[in-house]
Amino acid sequence: MRRRFKDLSIVPVTSLALAMMLPAGAVSAQSAAPHGAAASGSGDRTMASSERPRDDLAAKLVRREVQRSPSSIPGREIVQVETSIPAGVESGWHVHPGEEVGYIIAGRVEMKVRGRSNIILHAGDGFLIPPRTPHNARDLGPDTGRMLSTYIVETGQPLATFVDQHAQR
């Protein structure tokens, strides 16, 4: 069953999400839809907040879940997220329970991945983070960086979990 929700403006929803330290999608019209209903247009999957796996990064960055779908790989799901990183802000060292395939939409991002040399990514660059590999992204400015990440992760696990940064240096 598909429903349209047009009664919420994106500006107040985004402001509310930022004030609550939540990703905008957590308080969007999609999250108000009944369980199992899919919002049209964006492809966002509707889930009750109690069903959504934790995403530690949501408190530090502006993250919008674009879509979520079961994978053809048993026990895995595919989650696509657009992330905005304000100039000078970093994600913090974290891991994902599966692969992250990313693409820089805008900005310059310094990517630190445990066991690899640091790299500077620009708009148009792609990156791949192996499962459970600690990494940290920092926007180098002067503008807000934006990236689109597709995760192939274990179903029901937190999308991102912070790890001790001192152990990563």
SS (H, E, C) 34-46: CCCCEECCCCCEC
pLDDT at position 76 over 70: yes
pLDDT band at residue 150 using 50, 70 and 90 as cut-offs: very high
pLDDT at position 169 over 60: no
Give this prediction's pTM: 0.67
pLDDT at position 8 over 50: no
Domain ranges of the chain: 1-52, 54-169
Please tell me the class of the 54-169 domain: mainly beta
Bigger pLDDT: 29 vs 53? 53
Please write the tens of the pLDDT for every residue from 54-68: 677 767 789 999 999
